[in-house]
Amino acid sequence: MESIWTKETALPRFPTLQGELRTDVLVIGGGLAGLLCARRLTELGVENVLVEADGICGGVTKNTTAKITSQHGLIYEKLLRQFGAERAGMYLAANQAALREYRRLCAGVDCGFEERDAFVYSRSDRAGLEREVRALEALGFSAELAEEVPLPFPTAGAVRFPKQAQFDPLRFAAAAAKGLRIYEHTPVLELAPRTAVTPEGRIRAEKIVVCTHFPFLNKHGSYFLKMYQRRSYVLALENVPDVGGMYADGAEDGLSLRNAGSLLLLGGGGHRTGGKGGGWEELKRCAARYYPASREAARWAAQDCMTLDGVPYIGPYSARTQGLYTATGFNKWGMTSSMAAAMILGDLVTGRENPWVPVFSPSRTMLRPQLAVNAAGAALNLLTPTRPRCPHMGCALKWNPRERTWDCPCHGSRFTEEGRLIDNPATGDLKRCGRKGE
């Protein structure tokens, strides 16, 4: 179950930290967000070191569908209602700037960068599409309602964002990592003010940036309440037509589509981590129905951190943690959000003004309906008398027969059948792991 990016790209390798070192800024996490933050700081002349618990881009980044777009579902009408025009405009401006920065960086990199229009379609909710177009018009963005799109099923139309992009994320990451000071297989075991402890060393830094997908410090920021995780699934199909753009359903349980060379990436079947959903079986049924001549070339799954209001948390880790920053909660839009995070955090770390900070602040209000859902789900699983239990906060793990893993429905940690950690926020393996049914 490897993504097409993993099959085609060999990433550079880096040493493991042995001993002590000092640096101005420590970046924790070697996914695309961490690499871009380190790259941005380097361009600003800031000494920095990046550490990764495994190998760079070995987690979420390698499983993305790699769409670079400011169109994140039907979000702008929602942002206008929740935040008002000024902050909704900040969100749009930050993501458009991220798109431009990718265009600049990819100009000199062989990473399959292609300009494509992006579409959010709906099968039945024409009124929702029209509201989104009006919201974008109010923000001064040139979007349009496309009446017909080349999809193999009927739609009520689609909101079109012109001149967005797609690429090969690992080929880009390999280029972005060049010249950076990186240590792989160097997990951070303990984090104190200006100090990170690793298995074989210690790093002292004036400022620390946490880009570990899900933040691992529970005592600050309340991220265990502010986020949950979702899994989604992808089939790479051969012998299919070019759909002429990047597509996402405005409904959470719909399909996403985009071409990658001769392949069609068909995504969907998602569910909350630890819950039930259609998975690859649902996608195989869709492929057989809509593309009966297609053949499966690859399949993989992704995991995304979902926030209370649909906007990432980028900025100071909490109001009480001076010199500590984070970038997390990218929902399903990690490519553009990673670049926006690098631009915002680069400014914050160096004391520069950044116009987009207010909308992404991790300290913004938690009073959203999703908070009650997260809290109730966590309480239920904490009271469930089953084993094994997640070492993160003690929730009962659920057996995932599709991927043969133990998954945490509270916060999204995942473990192999034998108990080895796959996905955080847990930071270690299970001490004892029963087989399915135990």
159: which DSSP letter? E
262: which DSSP letter? T
> Reduced to 3 states, what is the DSSP secondary structure of residue 90?
helix
pLDDT given at position 147: 93
Question: Can you tell me which residue has the tokens 């001769």?
Answer: 262
Architecture of domain 114-166+226-307: 2-Layer Sandwich (3.30)
pLDDT higher than 80, residue 348? yes
- In the chain, the amino acid numbered 387 is R
Tokens of 152: 């193999």
| Residues 321, 412: Cα–Cα separation, whole Å | 25
pLDDT given at position 433: 54
Instruction: Map out the domains of the chain as residue ranges.
Output: 4-64+171-222+310-360, 114-166+226-307, 369-423
CB count in 10 Å sphere of residue 193: 9
How many CA atoms are closer than 13 Å to the CA of 98, on its beta-carbon side? 30
CATH superfamily to which 4-64+171-222+310-360 belongs = FAD/NAD(P)-binding domain (3.50.50.60)
CA-to-CA separations, 415 to 71, 238, 391, in angstroms, rounded: 33, 31, 11
Element (H, E) at 396: none
Residue 3 — very low, low, confident or very high, per pLDDT cuts 50/70/90?
Answer: very high
pLDDT given at position 375: 86
User: Is the whole model's pTM more than 0.85, yes or no?
Assistant: yes
pLDDT given at position 367: 87
pLDDT given at position 438: 42
Cβ–Cβ < 8 Å for 318, 221: yes
| Residues 422, 283: Cα–Cα separation, whole Å | 24
Q: What is the distance between the terminal CA atoms of the chain, rounded to a whole angstrom?
A: 26
Q: Is 2.102.10.10 the CATH classification of the domain at 369-423?
A: yes
CA-to-CA separations, 131 to 88, 127, 128, 159, in angstroms, rounded: 15, 6, 5, 10
Which residues have CB under 8 Å from 434's CB, separation 6+?
387, 388
Dump pLDDT digits (tens) for 213-264: 999 888 899 999 999 999 999 999 999 999 999 999 999 889 999 999 999 9
Question: Would the CA dihedral through 222, 227, 337, 52 be positive or negative?
Answer: positive
pLDDT given at position 432: 62
Tokens of 289: 């129905």
